[in-house]
Structure 1
Amino acid sequence: MSLIGKLAFVTGAGSGIGRETCKILAREGANVVAADKFLKNASDTAENLPKKADQSHTSVELDVTKKTSVQYTLKKTLEIYGKPPSIIVNSAGITKDNFVLKLSEEDFQDVIDVNLKGTFLVIQTFCNAITENKLKNASVINIASIVGKYGNIGQSNYCASKAGVELLTKSSAKELGQFGIRVNAILPGIIDTAMIQTVPDKVKQKFKSVISLGRFGQPQEIGEVIAFLASDKSSYISGASIEVTGGM
């Protein structure tokens, strides 16, 4: 599954799924731009990526909720590499959980802005650059969620945002296919990242009881699927939603 010579742009690269995805893409030969709201975390990721003689990785600060910030990261990427990335991974995401009757307007909007609006801004900005540069065989991979399909108690904002990401993916795939750009979504189940560290052990055990494999997923298990969707081995997959849930 070679990605040699390809340039990848990964949001949310400072931790969790984003960081593991950067490692796997670099392992497969891609040059990686690690983007995160927290530049130190992104830099830590980029500095520790596997690198052969012909590989070059970098880090950028990115607030996906602001178009000017997204445009700046594209400009910086073009300055460093002379071309836009042909692999785009939208992994930036947040949770601000509460019951719907108690959820504040601010917490609802923040989650929508990062998870859904942020994904839209990155797709629009970077895919415009891809079409302008006439790149072919580009791949956009968005991180949605299985709860965006079925809902979850205390996560109405998160579920709504991820449902939006899935349909944004399908609509974008229909529009961008003519330019040789594939757009797909991954729907992770419960993945062992910082997001679930605050969940009480009793609740975690309850979650595990409804997962066929009896365990939570690991970030790298999502990263491996992302690498497949980024590669030419998935050349006829677009507009798909791939569930990675352990049989949840």
Structure 2
Amino acid sequence: MENNDEFDSLDKTSKKKNKSKIRKAWILALCLLAFGTTLYSEIEGQWLSSFARTIGNVSYFSVSIMVALAGIFGTIFYLVWGAISDNLRTNRGRRIPIILIGMVATAGLMIFFISTTYFLLLLFIGGFLLAITSNMFHVTNKSLIGDLIPIEKRGRINSILFIFTNMGSMTVWIPAIILLPEGTETFSREVHSIFIGGGALLLVIVGIVVTLLVKEPKINTPPRNWLHDLKKLLNRKEMMQHKDFLRLFVAMLFLIMSQYAFTPFLLIL
């Protein structure tokens, strides 16, 4: 009996260690996602616009159209991918497959973007396709935090993720300041290729590593029709029942609009 009790005790200790390792892997994966999504946002908001304007010789007005289209389609597919991922059931979970596909597809489109200077192609990739693929990991990244981290630990984890978010921004901006030649206001095509192509490579690496680190807990509830969920989300009467959420939504909408009214032009003014 004593030997059995000792074995049970060791078994419980081993299980606790395994759980601890899994949680550490999850936290590392979320940190990488925070880094990767911010890195892409900075490249999308600055370097894609700069490439279109200075290398593609696209007018400021046309760049504005590209940014506006990306915002419109991005908003639509942010909701679409959220509804789809809620109802996806795979061996790797609900969010991870969409994150991996989104990051790899986005990386490929970034390479395609810098391979052409044809305006309609730049507009189609930057204003439409990237808005679809990038939101595959933008929305599921945030949902994954709620799926993996208990409520009582989310404040602490979000503080750590904030650090990695800033690291993603610094990875883009510090080298940009260093590489800007003296006496010029624009970057060469080679520098654009380094930043956009390098960002694409990092996205693929982040997507693969996160997929290896995280196997999401199984969901016992059966999937629903994602279109039904989307319609329910957009139901005005139901939204009015959650007034605090509605106020926060409107406030965040104006905050994001004010931010993106000028940030895409910082490198090309």
**TM-score computed with the length of structure 2 as normaliser:** 0.29
* Structure with more contact order per residue of length (Cα contacts < 8 Å, sep ≥ 6): 2
**Larger-Rg structure:** 2
Higher helix content, 1 or 2: 2
Higher strand content, 1 or 2: 1
**TM-score computed with the length of structure 1 as normaliser:** 0.30
